[in-house]
Structure 1
Amino acid sequence: MRVMHIAPGAPFGGVQRIVMNLARAQAASHRVATLWTGEMPHAEAKSVDRKTKTEEFLSSGSLLARVMRARGAIKAYDPDIVHLHMPAPWIALSLFNIRAKICLHLHGEPVRAGSLKARLGRELERIMVAHAGTLVAISDWIEQVWRERYPTARYRVVRNGVPVACEKPPAAKPVSTSPVVGFASRLAPDKGVAEFARFAIVMHEAHPNALFRIAGDGSQRRMLENELSSLIASGAAEILGHVSDMKTFWSQLDLAIFTAPAEPFGLRLIEPVAEGVPVIAYETGAGSDEIARDCAGIVLVPYEDPRAMAELAARLLSDDERRRVMVVEGAGDVARYFSLDAMTSGMAEVYQELLSR
């Protein structure tokens, strides 16, 4: 089977890591290509694997040029499956009269109506949905949101997965006198950056020995630096910028924090648990809630209650047994429900259904 993933190159974040991991896993049994649209992704996307051939990068040129280059790449590779991951809306114009079956991976909410550009994006989204044989939702919540817009489409839920070690699952680490609390995200308004800053300030006031490590970059970095200026000056907080080795980042934490207001899934929920790090998350009513409920390594607190989050963080950091239980049971839940193997298997079923229709 020949599979072509199409995804935006930037801003680099969870979607791109999911595409890279899925492509690596599929390359063991299929021919796989990745077509990045827009800007070039970070350097790690260039080495998806030697088995995973990156067929084309789209980084410049007029809209017509980008459409034609994408269409030319699809025709040259001649895939059996075109797998769309939040592509730029103009990619819809490259999908006419191609042989491949198309699945549209729903990593986020539909385009909202508004400006002329938004209305155009919504129309192009409608064309993509019409061309797609299956819409793949990453959570039940995101399926419900899309079904309200496109009730007649065919849906499947395949949850995101992360690589899971085959060896002994991670164990809870003893907490030092200066516990490390971490947050990782693209630093954008919809990712809970301001909410994390408020939590960190409250946590530091009550527990001045705590250290805060933030991985990520984006438009809200300056705001975060201003909000946490006193913590940064004292060495209690550090903003690391873009981090390529997220596995190491998570493993160096004692506790991870998730403060996004409305995530369809929340890859940052399960990645730390897979590395033996408990997570405290805000309950928001979005898809991230159902992920948290299915993973014992994650505990929820009411949204925008930094004091409740800080108090729970303090209790967890002083309760070795509770952390041990969260780590052991959470790792089991990740392996059961959120592994890369489970995601790859789910997508294989989607592909077979597409090809058989």
Structure 2
Amino acid sequence: MCAWLATPAVVAHHPVHHPFRARHGIRHGHGPHGPGPTPRVIPSAPSGGEPVIHIAFVIDTIESATAGTERQLLHLLERLDRTRFAPVLCVLRPSDWIEQSVLPCPVYNVSIRGFKHPASIAGIGKFSGFLRGRRTDVVQTHFRDSTIASVCASRLAGKVPVIATRRNQGYWQTGLDKRLQPILNRLTTAFIANSRSTMDKMVRDEGIAPERIRIIPNGLDLSKFPWPMNGDRESTRQALGMSRDEISVGIVANLRPIKRHDLLIEAAAIVRGRHPNARFHLFGDGDEREKLEALVRERALDGVIRFHGRCENVPAMLPGLDIGVLCSDSESMSNAVIEYMAAGLPVVATNVGGVGETIVDGVTGSLVPAGDYSGLANAIARFAADASLRNTTGQSGRRKAEGYSLDQCVAAHESLYAAIAGSAQ
């Protein structure tokens, strides 16, 4: 039944379509302030070719292009081969970012803000009509609410195949979520996991058959990480307010509890005692900022740790750093880690989820146990003390990052869509 999952991915090379960017121009499709009219239909392949596969990509919303799942989705929408696939982005609710962005495909507002209100039933009904009217071949979901809406609407639309994307390991799940998940799993055709660790957890904890899961690692646009990057170093450090002789340690992550920035702050207090020229730079924003700033003051680290806020252009910032850090309690596959490696930085990270699949301990970086700020400090200090070690480790990381090309990622998705759509006919 699931033989399509064994289909090997072939790297496809095709032009980029309508690059997305924030706050410029007019979006394709209709605005997301209500279901409204159906977005424009992307034409099918020329006569005599294979029929175009219509795919609905469903996500709760997109607040910015910097978050990991959202960024991977936008890259995929941007690069899908339009001679074979016709994508539409379906959001449960609108956002300012969507309104102000040029997006690479039509946008449809599902108009579901939650499932406690009776209006959500009508929203699912309208969504099923949209899927049916567009002759949707495949639905791909991201996050819990979009999966709920999609499996219900897909059933009503005639059992359209649903692919559920797993880019985290369910750290957020409540008791209700865990009771609901088996129902959603039974109504889902296939799953995409971005790491072996996440797949193994799905099989072990949820009883999902391995043949229903395709592992597709995150993709990286290497063109944004020219190598070597040393030419941008001094200008980048100057723009970021870094001194010439400081050892710059950076973390790119939203300020959320799961990312454990508090561990980096505690580690910074230790590293500072050994390397007075070490400085720590936090790129990202979130609800934890006030709490973390208080911890910085409590540890007397003002001037040692800087909060830069949200970073819209990570590749342009990374050349200014010497060491990249990830200290999360849970990850599936970290975009930040492969971006650090692409920039030639040694990486210090907690060994959680699929992080150990990306980082080769002692070769492309150092892995430390989750929650261990002392181990984090020791690994950072080891790199801070040895420029040669930073250089050789960074070069090894760059070579490893080149194995996560965006073309390979997109081709693997295209192969899965073609197989799923073909088996549904």
Could you say whether these structures have the same fold, taking a TM-score greater than 0.5 normalized by the shorter chain as the test? Answer: yes
Residue 351 of structure 1 aligns with which residue? 417
> Does the CA-based 8 Å contact 2:328-2:370 persist in structure 1?
no
CA RMSD of aligned residues (A): 3.1
Residues 218-227 or 4-13, more deviating? 4-13
SS where residue 235 of structure 1 aligns?
coil
Residue 265 of structure 1 aligns with which residue? 333
Q: Distance in 2 between matches of 1:276 and 1:314?
A: 18
Q: Distance in 1 between matches of 2:416 and 2:198?
A: 17
* Cα 1:67–1:41 shift into 2, 3 Å: farther
> Does the CA-based 8 Å contact 1:186-1:217 persist in structure 2?
yes
Q: Distance in 2 between matches of 1:253 and 1:57?
A: 42
| Deviation readout 1:284-318 (Å, 9 max, x if unpaired) | 3x221222239953321333333333233233234
Residue 103 of structure 1 aligns with which residue? 163
SS where residue 344 of structure 2 aligns?
coil
SS where residue 324 of structure 2 aligns?
strand
- Tell me, yes or no, if structure 1 residue 3 matches structure 2 residue 26: no
Residue 109 of structure 2 aligns with which residue? 56
Q: Distance in 1 between matches of 2:420 and 2:279?
A: 49
Residue 154 of structure 1 aligns with which residue? 212
Query: Which amino acid counterpart does residue 57 of structure 2 have in structure 1?
Result: H
Q: Distance in 2 between matches of 1:15 and 1:9?
A: 11
Query: Which amino acid counterpart does residue 40 of structure 1 have in structure 2?
Result: S
Residue 67 of structure 1 aligns with which residue? 124
Residue 18 of structure 2 aligns with which residue? none
Cα distance, 1:65 vs structure 2: 4.5
TM-score (norm 1): 0.85
Residue 184 of structure 2 aligns with which residue? 128
TM-score (norm 2): 0.72
Q: Distance in 1 between matches of 2:111 and 2:300?
A: 38
SS where residue 222 of structure 1 aligns?
helix
Residue 139 of structure 2 aligns with which residue? 82
> Does the CA-based 8 Å contact 2:284-2:310 persist in structure 1?
yes
* Cα 1:68–1:84 shift into 2, 3 Å: same
Query: Which amino acid counterpart does residue 177 of structure 2 have in structure 1?
Result: A
Q: Distance in 1 between matches of 2:382 and 2:128?
A: 55
> Does the CA-based 8 Å contact 1:56-1:73 persist in structure 2?
no
One of 293, 301, 307 as aligned partner of 2:360: 293
Query: Which amino acid counterpart does residue 150 of structure 1 have in structure 2?
Result: G
* Cα 1:181–1:26 shift into 2, 3 Å: same
- Tell me, yes or no, if structure 1 residue 93 matches structure 2 residue 152: yes
- Tell me, yes or no, if structure 1 residue 321 matches structure 2 residue 391: no
Cα distance, 1:55 vs structure 2: 2.8
Query: Which amino acid counterpart does residue 74 of structure 2 have in structure 1?
Result: M
Q: Distance in 1 between matches of 2:135 and 2:61?
A: 21
Residues 134-143 or 28-37, more deviating? 28-37
Residue 37 of structure 1 aligns with which residue? 92
One of 72, 89, 93 as aligned partner of 1:18: 72
Percent sequence identity is 19
SS where residue 293 of structure 1 aligns?
coil
Q: Distance in 2 between matches of 1:57 and 1:96?
A: 16
One of 297, 311, 327 as aligned partner of 1:243: 311
Residues 254-263 or 302-311, more deviating? 302-311
Larger radius of gyration: 2
Cα distance, 1:195 vs structure 2: 1.7
SS where residue 409 of structure 2 aligns?
helix
- Tell me, yes or no, if structure 1 residue 169 matches structure 2 residue 227: yes
Cα distance, 1:45 vs structure 2: 8.3
| Deviation readout 1:36-70 (Å, 9 max, x if unpaired) | 23462745983333xx2223364747433543454
* Cα 1:23–1:113 shift into 2, 3 Å: closer
One of 173, 177, 182 as aligned partner of 1:118: 177
